Structure formats: C-alpha cells, structure tokens
A = this chain, B = another copy of it.
Amino acid sequence: MSPDKTLADKAYRKLRAEILDGHLGAGQKLKLEALAKDCAVGMSPLREALARLQGDHLVVSEGQRGFWVAPLPLDEIDDVSRVRAMLETEALSASIAKGGSAWERRVKEAFERLSQFEEGMPSPGTERPAALLNAWEERNHAFHAALVSGSGSPCLTRLCEQLYQQSERYRRVSRMVSGGRRNVHEEHVAIFRAALERQTLKACRLVEDHILRTAEQIRLAMSLNELPDA
C-alpha cells in the first residue's frame, strides 16, 4: 500500500528525500546511470522523476548536458524566508478570520502531535539521530500547514507549501533544526495560543519572527560551515 503507484513515483520520492536530506549536495552533477542503479529503475522512470523534480526547483537541467541538484545560493535564504513570512502571515490572518471548527481541530491535532514530540526531545545542543529529525520535521511541517489551512484560498495554501519546502531544504542542508539557544517549542506554543485565541496581529507577528529567526540561524550555520552553495 505504498504511495508509489509507479516506478517513476518511487524514484521521485527517493531522489527528493536524498536532496532534502543533503545526501545529494547542492550543485552536484547527477549521473543518470548510477542513479538508475541506486533507485533500481530504468532510464525512463528516472528521467520522468527528474523532470518532476525540476518543477519543484530541486533539480536543474541544461540542454543536452545532463542534470544537477539545484544550487542553494547562500544569499537567497533571506529572500525566500521574507517571502515565505509574507505568505504565511497572509494565510494565517485569513485562516483566523475565516477558519471554522474544522480548521481549529486540524491546528489542535497538529499542535498536539508536534508538542508531545518536542517535549520528549533531547535538549538543544545534544546530538540527535537523523530519524528523530525526520520525525520532527514531518510534525513541524504538518503544524505549519494546518495553521494556514483555513484561509479558503487554495492558491495561497499551495504557495505556502512550496516555500516551506524551499526553506526546509536550507534548514536540512545546514544540518540544524532548532540548534542554538532558541526554544523553538515555546515559539510554537505561543503561535498556537495566539492563533486559537484569534489574536490576528499577535499570531502573525509571532510567525514572522519565527520564520525570520530560523533564517538567521540557518544563514549563520551555513556561513560558518562554509557549506557548498553552488
């Protein structure tokens, strides 16, 4: 019952995960033959998967010269984060205004799942296994998605999703989810409360700070680690 109906789906998911994990570094040349072997598929499904990843801006291709993992320019973190903050605050305020009980329930459930997880996590600074980070990432994603899910604007929701994904790539490449002194959990709690109390301005401000603060940490981590950016 896997969600991979076709081999192209399988390859798509696998490659996508590898890129987001940073297993396939930014800017890296993708050797088709090797990838086909790794994914255990032929050329056609692989090529289809790559074409779809191109649509997600995770892969770039050039003429007849092959495919590369999309670069991750250091100087675009702030750009992406600012635009993302704008879209998410817009969507959040619309959700607070229009969101009904179904929205509230989604937010509560997503928050609960994230909250329980964060409280059981090792304190910041400790080493964390990759599996834990993936599980946290999934819940964090769900929480953000739930918050903006009541806007009544499918278009806006799609864009939020798209930008979340781009930010996530930066975060994961910098191998950091919440490092530093920040208590991300507390920020989530504050956002959750403000949203359900329908305090639009406060909630939006909190979300914006949340996003921009994360961006700042990522930029710091990347500039320190001199990670590949092209």
Binding site for B on A (CB under 8 A): 5-6, 8, 44, 47-49, 51-52, 54-56, 63-64, 76, 79-80, 82-83, 86, 90, 153-156, 159, 163, 166
Alpha-carbon gap, A104 to B163, bound state (A)? 29
**Min CB–CB distance A199 → chain B (angstroms):** 22
A163 to B55, CA, bound (A): 15
CB distance from A208 to the nearest CB of B (A): 14
Cα–Cα distance between A19 and B32 once the two chains are bound (Å)? 30
Taking a contact as CB atoms under 8 Å apart, the answer to whether A153 and B44 are in contact is no
Nearest chain B residue, comparing its CB with the CB of A162: B159
Task: Return the contact of A156 from the options B5, B47, B83, B156 (Cβ within 8 A).
Answer: B83
Cβ–Cβ < 8 Å partners of A5 in chain B: 63-64
Residue from B49, B79, B163 within 8 A of A153 (CB atoms)? B79
**Residue of A8, A79, A80 ringed by the most chain B CB atoms within 10 A:** A79
CB < 8 Å neighbour of A63 from B6, B82, B90 = B6
Interchain CB contact (< 8 A) of A83 among B63, B76, B155:
B155
Closest B residue to A9 by CB, please name it. B63
New A-B contacts (13) at CB < 8 Å, excluding given A76-B154, A79-B154: A5-B63, A44-B47, A48-B51, A51-B52, A52-B52, A52-B55, A55-B55, A79-B153, A79-B155, A79-B156, A82-B153, A83-B155, A159-B159
CA distance A156 to B82 in the complex (A): 9
Interface centre among A51, A52, A63, A86 (most CB of B within 10 A): A51
- Are B64's CB and A159's CB within 8 A? no
- Asked if B64 and A153 sit within 8 Å, CB to CB, the answer is no
